[in-house]
Amino acid sequence: MQRLAVVVTLLLLWTVSLCGESRMDTVSMPTMSALNNRPVVFYLPDGYDDNVTTSKGDTVRYPILYLLHGINGDEYSWSRNGDIRHLMDSLIANRVIRKCVVVMPNTNAGKYIWGKKYKDLKDNRDMKTKSLMRNLFGYVKNRKGNFIDYFGEIEALTYSRYRVSDAPTDRIVAGLSNGSYQAALLSNMHPGRYAWVGLLSPVIFRSQVPERGENWCATDELPEGTHFFISVGEGDIFRFYGVKYSKLLREAHIPYVLQSVKGGHDWKAWRKDFATFMKYAFPYDNNMGITHD
């Protein structure tokens, strides 16, 4: 009898843990803008799969973060190196940030060549070198055209599959290294679409500074306009770009936060930078009016 009680207790604990867990989805996305299908990874917070409504009876739609990788990364970079699931779970559980959906696409402009599992490639230096060179050349093509169209397909996929909010205050984009370039590009091409743009160890140029004045892209739905968050490591080899970009934003009267942190151009710094960015972009809000049926 005692053994049965122990078994039942363990089963209950296991069931509770399953019901309260976040999860990761990987979706293969057909695309007309890139050279072939691309995987997109989604982080869905604890409670997403529950029957959740607002106090008014409306279906809860979650804020959304588009999170971009670096020049030789892929859709798994933030999971593999950034431990994004546990990081998000911790920030949410400790009421530091709001629950949100995180979208992690593969944004390489060239042919998708990371289709094999990472374990099959991590010791293959020749394959990784070819991957880096192809992606480097691919970004030249990227800058000339198809990235915006491709990202539009990513957004369409996201809104068709998941309960995400379309309010500008609930939509942010961030990237590390060259992903910062892409994040800035998106904010420039779609003024007022993102409340915050996170640039972690950015490698971006003067041409990426929005040509706007004070309260850039202010609208009725986004009255304070888009804000930029820039984080640069004290030992980052690309530190100059982030500092210079912040000065250009200041000259253009565009609101921003500049953070200088210990560390270099590496994941140790990026994980900390990301957590700080999220505190600014999606601070915890206890007034969502969520009820569980």
Domain-located, residue 2: no
**Distance set, CA 153 to CA 97, 117, 122, 188, 283 (Å):** 27, 24, 30, 18, 28
Domain-located, residue 270: yes
At residue 52, the pLDDT reads 73
Residue 196: which CATH number?
A: 3.40.50.1820
Per the prediction, the chain carries an average pLDDT of: 78
Residue range 284-292: mean pLDDT, rounded: 52
**pLDDT, tens digit (0-9, with 9 covering 90-100), for 47-94:** 898 867 766 777 889 999 999 998 878 899 999 999 999 999 999 999
pLDDT of residue 196 exceeding 60, the answer is yes
Domain-located, residue 260: yes
- Greater model confidence, 168 or 215: 168
Domain-located, residue 235: yes
Overall domain count for the chain: 1
Four-residue CA torsion sign, 248, 250, 254, 255:
positive
At residue 99, the pLDDT reads 95
Amino acid, single-letter form, for residue 279: K
Domain-located, residue 4: no
Quick one: which H or E segment has residue 227?
strand 227-233
Domain-located, residue 16: no
Instruction: Tell me which residue range forms the domain holding 89.
Output: 21-292
pLDDT of residue 189 exceeding 70, the answer is yes
At residue 191, the pLDDT reads 84
Q: Of 33-42, 83-92, 120-129, 159-168, which gets the smallest average pLDDT?
A: 120-129
- Greater model confidence, 161 or 185: 161
Domain-located, residue 110: yes
Domain-located, residue 162: yes
**Distance set, CA 225 to CA 101, 168, 204, 222, 231 (Å):** 22, 10, 21, 5, 20
Residue range 148-154: mean pLDDT, rounded: 82
The token pair that represents 33 in the structure block: 């803008």
Amino acid, single-letter form, for residue 41: V
pLDDT of residue 110 exceeding 90, the answer is no
At residue 143, the pLDDT reads 44
Q: Model's pTM, two decimal places?
A: 0.81
Q: Using CB atoms within 10 Å of the CB of residue 245, give its burial: 0 to 12 exposed, 13 to 18 middle, 19+ buried.
A: buried
Residue range 254-276: mean pLDDT, rounded: 91
pLDDT class of 109 with cuts at 50, 70, 90: low
